[in-house]
Amino acid sequence: MNTFVEAQAFADGDMAASALAQVEAQFRASEARFSRFDPTSELSRLNQATGRPFRASPELFVLVAEALQAAAVSGGLFNPGILSALELAGYDRSFEQLDRREVTGPGTAISANERDTPIPELPDLMRIRLDAQSRTIHLPAGLRLDLGGIAKGWTVDRAVALLADLGPCMVNAGGDLCAWGAPPGQSHWRIGIPDPWRPERDVAILRVRDKALATSGINRRRWRHNGREQHHLIDPHRGVPATSDLVTVTVIASTATQAEVLAKVAFL
């Protein structure tokens, strides 16, 4: 996931400290399980096992199922099969290791390649076979998954479910956020939406309670590859970084998983 995580909980000091430690452990476990940059992660091992059944952990099985459902509902706009396209655009290592020289502030996207890059379409994704009884995932040969964004939202939801038993809480992982209840003396959480050009100031303040929100945009994860400016939001029809007059999109939804998917779909 490669992002900052903020968690707040209003509860007895010892109970809150214990729960927050569990939240930290959840995020570390998700990073170890779902990172595509770690060749030993479970996701990497799944991607290395294309063409044959892979027995998955309950967490990976559920997350892949949710990603495929999101792909189906969005008509393929949300596409977890974009890993090859991301790598061709130069996103083949963690973000802090990418070449960001000369990359300026947000603007319209520049396509990564002269020609389109084939990536799995929705029918290809639907060829992924999930067997709940054996808890196996069978990726067609050559199809690999990237679960970074949806894994972040999914982990936020699990963290909030843990903290909500103690009282009002909020978990924010790089802009994927879920707020439960409200701080003492308040009716809602006040969530600032940063200006993409001047992130030190907010363009809006949202009042959120028992909801989640996520922001997708091209203002942060930008780099240079083969002399071109790139970003991580891939056009699922062309297989290259999307061209858009949008910079960021923020969506409020019932869960952070839903908000993450919908923000990406709305941007594309």
In tens, the pLDDT along 16-30 reads 899 999 999 999 999
Predicted pLDDT at 24:
96
Strands 234-235 and 222-225 turn out to be unpaired
Find the range with the poorest average confidence among 63-72, 92-101, 200-209: 92-101
**Which CATH number goes with the domain that contains 207?**
3.10.520.10
In this predicted model, what pLDDT tens digit does every residue of 129-178 receive, in sequence order?
Answer: 999 999 999 999 989 999 988 999 999 999 999 999 999 999 999 889 99
Number of domains in the chain: 1
The pLDDT of residue 92: 55
The CA distance from 175 to 214, in Å, is 6
Q: Is residue 205's pLDDT more than 70? A: yes
**Residues 6+ away with beta carbon under 8 Å from 218:** 106, 109, 231, 232, 233, 241, 242, 244, 247, 248
Cα torsion for 18, 20, 22, 25, to the nearest 10°?
-140
Whether the per-residue pLDDT at 107 is higher than 60: the answer is: no
Please answer whether residues 202 and 193 qualify as being in contact, where contact means their C-beta atoms are separated by less than 8 angstroms.
yes
Residue ranges making up the domain that contains 93? 5-267
pLDDT of residue 229: 66
Mean pLDDT of the chain: 85
Alpha-carbon torsion, ordered 18, 174, 176, 242, to 10 deg = -160
